[in-house]
């Protein structure tokens, strides 16, 4: 259930980022965003469907999903940690900003969870886990980051 909650939150986040970036003044970014739209929407629909089904099914599935939701929310809110470059990106029209992104994401989460028996805690009672933008990660992420950056470390000029 934790994996499903993480998938649900991450896919909703990615879909909203994609929508926002199609409006970017940086044309290559806007084009790439439009190119991946269908794939992101499919994965978001998949996650939403499972949340709705399991969040309205048996007492056990609702209880387990509720616990997972409460566990994952602080991490999810950490996705909106402000970058030191945010103001420059906003002023250049490249990105609308973390607050805009967070507000849209929260509305999407609320919309999906309203169709379940899950209880969303008040947003202001959740303390986000911040620090990812400055390199503070859980012990679970570092091996993934190492693997994802392996080719770049071996050959910094590599292109895909």
Give the up-direction half-sphere exposure of residue 126: CA atoms within 13 A in the CB hemisphere: 18
Q: What share of the chain has pLDDT > 70, as a percent?
A: 99
Res. 158: pLDDT tops 90: no
Which distant-in-sequence residues (6+ apart) come within 8 Å of 126 by Cβ?
A: 73, 74, 77
Q: What is the mean pLDDT of the chain?
A: 91
DSSP state letter for 48 = H
Which region among 38-47, 55-64, 105-114, 131-140 has the lowest average model confidence (pLDDT)? 131-140
The CATH architecture that domain 2-131 belongs to is: Up-down Bundle (1.20)
Instruction: Supply the pLDDT for residue 37.
Output: 87
- Is the pTM value of this prediction over 0.75? yes
What does the pLDDT average to over 118-129?
96
Instruction: Supply the pLDDT for residue 45.
Output: 92
Res. 1: pLDDT tops 80: no
Are 108 and 37 contacting, i.e. CB atoms less than 8 angstroms apart?
no
Res. 6: pLDDT tops 90: no
């Amino acid at each position: 259930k934790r994996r499903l909650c993480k998938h649900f939150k991450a896919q909703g986040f990615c879909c909203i980022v994609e929508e926002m970036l199609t409006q970017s003044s940086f044309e290559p970014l806007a084009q790439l965003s439009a190119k991946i739209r269908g794939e992101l929407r499919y994965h978001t629909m998949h996650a939403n469907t499972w949340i709705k089904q399991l969040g309205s099914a048996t007492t056990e599935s609702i209880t387990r999903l509720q616990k997972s939701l409460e566990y994952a929310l602080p991490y999810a809110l950490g996705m909106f940690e402000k970058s030191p470059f945010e103001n420059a990106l906003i002023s250049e029209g490249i990105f609308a900003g973390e607050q805009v992104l967070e507000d849209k994401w929260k509305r999407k989460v609320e919309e999906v969870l309203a169709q379940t028996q899950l209880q969303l805690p008040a947003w202001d009672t959740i303390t986000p886990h911040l620090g990812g933008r400055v390199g503070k990660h859980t012990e679970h992420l570092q091996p993934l980051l190492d693997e994802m950056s392996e080719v770049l470390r071996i050959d910094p000029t590599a292109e895909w």
